[in-house]
Structure 1
């Protein structure tokens, strides 16, 4: 190996050794040159200074690819890991069905404690769920009470009481047939005093006259009208006056009151 340096400071040559590096200001001169030559030694057992080994591009490429690879090389195989899959048998599952504590994994105690925010959010979700459940239960209870009230009202309005085993046709459930079985509830107070009207001035009020007469035109007894004796006499006088003038029939209801039965389309 020969190193030749040509500069204004002179030239140096050496064999098998390198001289000291040039001073720092030496690189500023343009006439500095280094010549490296390799000659094999005549002695086989003695080696001179060997040149640096430059890696080939393929080797560098392989190293660069392997440096950024996360998988092991094909020639290297990791030993198989021991898998511990503990699957309980059917008998052990049946025996531990009433023991939820034993069915928990052993490492459950090693879990970290929940954060305070998680505990608060879980509590809020639980309270919200309880409020929604109570609201649904309350709504269902109100619906049940409403349906029960409607059913009781319909049963009270139905005049005919059906027993088990009764045979009926759809026509028997019509309002016309139900009207035949209707029973008027007795009044508990005096209507004349409650309304503050004068019965002798109501001779054109056919609906009022119908309430105090039967279907054959007879005056209803005071036990059915619940009127005071004075008002009962005034009502009876008014009914006899209307029937005497021919404004109200004596053997049937007034035509204005039974019009809907003959002309249902006018309803």
Structure 2
């Protein structure tokens, strides 16, 4: 993969909560942090990184451009503002947060702006988030697949998105899974609990290990030190082929995030 397989998500975390989460995560070994303009926490994350003592060059930092900033006169300035908030000259990865087809956003235009940001040195890598197959193809046709590092999509044992995942693999676009724990819903799944018991692990570790062994990057979030450490240990958990197959049967199209009017028509 061109991006780290394990990182820290910061959705819904703000102010001191996100500062503490980021500093603790960096302290226990995380080296990738995912944020977004709409999260309203970039400045706090910038502060946390500065206070952590971990060199900026050792951290893979991702942000996402919000739909309000897709206009040509707003796109680059908004990213520069994000960089200022994050206390950095460039991020490692910048994503288009939502394709917003119902808002009439031109995918070719916004992808060209994203490519321009990369060419200006504001971001090392670029990619997309929440794009379905048709819109991903538009993005590929616009700037070339070689520039599209990842598609960050909702993925969990309850939402396995196989059609889209297979397409992304064919295109050699890395898959980043968010909501891998489905807002915590998978933690009480009896199948995952049973598999966890066989490994002296937690159901969260099993869900994350399932995603990792499928080749996805994961970005779980937590504010608790013990959970941050526990999640990280999912990298050491090796599920059997049979266990992976059992988890594959948990698919229920259990989508947690599909905001109007930003979400595309999802692939089945």
TM-score class, shorter-chain normalisation, is: under 0.3
Alignment TM-score, normalising by the size of structure 1 = 0.20
Report the TM-score, using the length of structure 2 for normalisation: 0.20
